[in-house]
Amino acid sequence: MLYIGSHVGFNKSNQLVGSVKEALSYGANTFMFYTGAPQNTTRNPIIDELTLEALSIMKENNMDYSKVIVHAPYIMNLCNEEKFSFSVEFLTHELERVNQLGIKYLVLHPGSHVGQGIETGINRIIEGINMAFQNLGNNNQVTILLETMAGKGTEVGTNIQELKKIIEGIKDQSHIGVCLDTCHLNDAGYDLNDFDHYLDEFDQEIGIEKIGCIHINDSKNEKSSHKDRHENIGFGTIGFDTLISIIYNERLKDIPRILETPYVDRLYPPYQEEIEMIRKKEFNKDLINIIKNKANNT
């Protein structure tokens, strides 16, 4: 079965109920959200009544809760010495929130080593994740998925070997995995036209069963650009056919596919139209105009 969804909102008053309804409006059967603004660490308490209500809406709509993803705020950086204890504490609270929501996966950007070197960066990430897991003790059900990064600045986790080193250092092997991001893989230098080759290498080094989620994005930039700028499906350098073959790759079936493509004119979510296009496996070059027109008519 194809599990496809997008990034959706999660606000203070409606919480998961709002997220589920937004996902349904796009024709999605899964979704990903931040438990607060991605660029800051202000977080409100989770209201269990809303979670239960959301669960019943999901059940009515045959949505599988185990495919839902939370993304940790991207300003967290376990490699930054000054912010290390803050980041560990925040990661601990984030894991607690995701556990409270009953969600299985938390996507985490490994971090940026900010000049201390990859090795030091990797060691800090390992240490930080181990400490956060230790803080939760036996209460943790959440798997952290390290995201593959584009290699912007001093990002760690740009290739299979770096992710492998981090994973090997994690004590709780049953709660660590990887989230692939097609835009990031392209920008990091992997040839997505030969995605099976990437999966072979990943399987040899880490094990394909560690992949828990795939972010599906086209890229505004060429392979190896190390830029990390997402583009709408079929409108970037990766292209529609390559993305479709990744989305429908049998070796990754049952793993949620999440769109993080840009809003049209920064205002209009493209997800309903993109999901439709993906289900039909047919590129619509007028997609952006159709979204603009629809927005103008409502």
Q: Indicate whether 228 belongs to the interface with Zn ion (CB under 5 A).
A: yes
Q: Indicate whether 218 belongs to the interface with Fe ion (CB under 5 A).
A: no
As given in the structure block, the two tokens for residue 180 are: 């692939």
List, in sequence order, the alpha helices (H) in the chain. Answer: 15-25, 48-60, 84-101, 118-136, 160-169, 182-188, 195-205, 240-247, 271-280, 287-296
- Beta carbon of residue 217, minimum distance to Zn ion (angstroms, whole number): 7
Site string for Fe ion, 140-159 (x = CB under 5 A): -------x------------
Residues 79, 113 contacting (CB under 8 angstroms): yes
Which lies closer to Fe ion via its Cβ, residue 181 or residue 218?
181
Which lies closer to Zn ion via its Cβ, residue 94 or residue 228?
228
- Beta carbon of residue 180, minimum distance to Fe ion (angstroms, whole number): 9
Which lies closer to Zn ion via its Cβ, residue 107 or residue 144?
107
Q: Indicate whether 257 belongs to the interface with Fe ion (CB under 5 A).
A: no
Q: Identify what 215 binds: Zn ion, Fe ion, none; CB under 5 to 8 Å per kind.
A: Fe ion
Q: Identify what 228 binds: Fe ion, Zn ion, none; CB under 5 to 8 Å per kind.
A: Zn ion
- Beta carbon of residue 58, minimum distance to Zn ion (angstroms, whole number): 27
Q: Indicate whether 187 belongs to the interface with Zn ion (CB under 5 A).
A: no
Which residues make Cβ contacts (< 8 Å) with residue 117, sequence separation at least 6? none
Which lies closer to Fe ion via its Cβ, residue 17 or residue 180?
180
Q: Indicate whether 97 belongs to the interface with Fe ion (CB under 5 A).
A: no
Which lies closer to Zn ion via its Cβ, residue 218 or residue 228?
228
Question: Residue holding tokens 């993304």?
Answer: 71
Query: Measured in whole angstroms, how far is the alpha carbon of residue 137 from the centre of its chain?
Result: 25
- Beta carbon of residue 3, minimum distance to Fe ion (angstroms, whole number): 16
What is the CA angle 294-295-297, rounded to 5?
Answer: 65
Which lies closer to Zn ion via its Cβ, residue 39 or residue 138?
39
Closest-CA residue to 184 (of 163, 206, 200)? 163
Q: Indicate whether 218 belongs to the interface with Zn ion (CB under 5 A).
A: no
Q: Indicate whether 274 belongs to the interface with Zn ion (CB under 5 A).
A: no
Whole-Å CA distances, 81 to 78, 91, 131: 8, 15, 15
Give the N- to C-terminal CA distance of the chain in Å, as an integer.
Answer: 33
Site string for Fe ion, 198-217 (x = CB under 5 A): -----------------x--
Q: Indicate whether 155 belongs to the interface with Zn ion (CB under 5 A).
A: no
Residues 9, 263 contacting (CB under 8 angstroms): no
- Beta carbon of residue 229, minimum distance to Fe ion (angstroms, whole number): 12
Q: Indicate whether 94 belongs to the interface with Fe ion (CB under 5 A).
A: no
Which lies closer to Fe ion via its Cβ, residue 50 or residue 228?
228
Closest-CA residue to 132 (of 94, 76, 185, 186)? 94
Q: What residue number has its CB nearest to Zn ion? A: 228
Determine the Cα–Cα distance for residues 14 and 265; give it in Å rounded to an integer: 26
Residues 295, 267 contacting (CB under 8 angstroms): yes
Site residues (vs Fe ion, CB under 5 A) = 147, 181, 215
Q: Which residues bind Zn ion (CB under 5 A)?
A: 228
